[in-house]
Amino acid sequence: ELKVEQNPLFLSMQEGKNYTIYCNYSTTSDRLYWYRQDPGKSLESLFVLLSNGAVKQEGRLMASLDTKARLSTLHITAAVHDLSATYFCAVDIPPSNTGKLIFGQGTTLQVKP
Amino acid sequence: GAVVSQHPSWVICKSGTSVKIECRSLDFQATTMFWYRQFPKQSLMLMATSNEGSKATYEQGVEKDKFLINHASLTLSTLTVTSAHPEDSSFYICSAWTALAKNIQYFGAGTRLSVL
């Protein structure tokens, strides 16, 4: 069964703190995607991780991919209120290169002043 | 980046009526468009895959007669929710994908459907 599981599902943190969101998946996909969704809005692409060991950083967010462990992490450094949103990871539904994605449950991040 | 326009952004309709949602890729030709459904505080669930000029492929459990998809051109796909009922109320999101940009999927802004 195809599964993408995120942990935690809800995260409340103080500004300035660091935290990591985990994404485990069951497929053999070599690509993993991270998206951000603000309430009532659609998805904003954050990162596309294309291979084992890939690491990408944008501002206070850093994503990494371990295809052997089928695990991706989204690390938040020194959180600020603007990062409050729901974050989804997604992987290709096999066969790859069709564009079909399966999403994790989403992690709702709440950053408190 | 590429832009996908989805219209309308919000629609309220009476039970039993049909609602059409449009998804347009504005600056590229989309090989494939996808339709997702999202219930409150839940993840996105793929409903169907729409390829230009061919019949849509529906995911298991999605009624094809209920959710009619037409992909008449490389820039336009439509989803029609037929005989809508309150349980069809949801957030519908389309996305556009092309083999020329395999790693990127461009999402529309979403349509919030409320069926009374």
Tens digits of per-residue pLDDT, B22-62?
999 988 888 899 999 999 889 999 999 998 888 899 999 99
**pLDDT of B54:** 84
Residues of B in contact with A31 (CB under 8 A): 103
**pLDDT of A52:** 86
The helix/strand/coil state of A71 is strand
Task: Count other Cβ atoms within 10 Å, centred on residue A72.
Answer: 26
- B1 pLDDT tier (thresholds 50, 70, 90): low
pLDDT in tens, B50-100: 988 888 999 999 999 999 999 888 889 999 999 999 999 999 999 998 777
| Identity of the residue in B34, B42, B43 whose CB atom sits nearest the CB atom of A100 | B34
**pLDDT of A83:** 97
- A36 pLDDT tier (thresholds 50, 70, 90): very high
| Identity of the residue in B97, B103, B107 whose CB atom sits nearest the CB atom of A43 | B107
On whether the CB atoms of residues B105 and B25 are closer than 8 A, the answer is no
| Identity of the residue in A44, A101, A105 whose CB atom sits nearest the CB atom of B46 | A101
pLDDT in tens, A84-102: 999 999 998 887 778 889 9
Asked if the Cβ–Cβ distance from B46 to A48 is below 8 Å, we say no
**What is chain B's length?**
116
Asked if the Cβ–Cβ distance from B6 to A42 is below 8 Å, we say yes
Percent share of chain A, pLDDT over 70:
100
**pLDDT of B102:** 62
Asked if the Cβ–Cβ distance from B44 to A103 is below 8 Å, we say yes
Mean pLDDT, residues A29-58 taken together: 91
Report the gap between the CA of B8 and the closest CA in chain A (Å): 13
Q: Whole-angstrom Cα distance, residue B81 to residue B16? A: 10
Cis peptide before A113 (omega within 30 of 0): no
Question: Best of B21, B105, B114 to disrupt the A interface by mutation (most A CBs within 10 Å)?
Answer: B105
Asked if the Cβ–Cβ distance from B110 to A41 is below 8 Å, we say yes
- Residue for token digits 């609602």? B19
Judged against a pLDDT cut of 90, whether residue B12 lies above it is answered with: yes
**pLDDT of A10:** 96
Residues of A in contact with B49 (CB under 8 A): 98-100
| Identity of the residue in A93, A98, A103 whose CB atom sits nearest the CB atom of B43 | A103
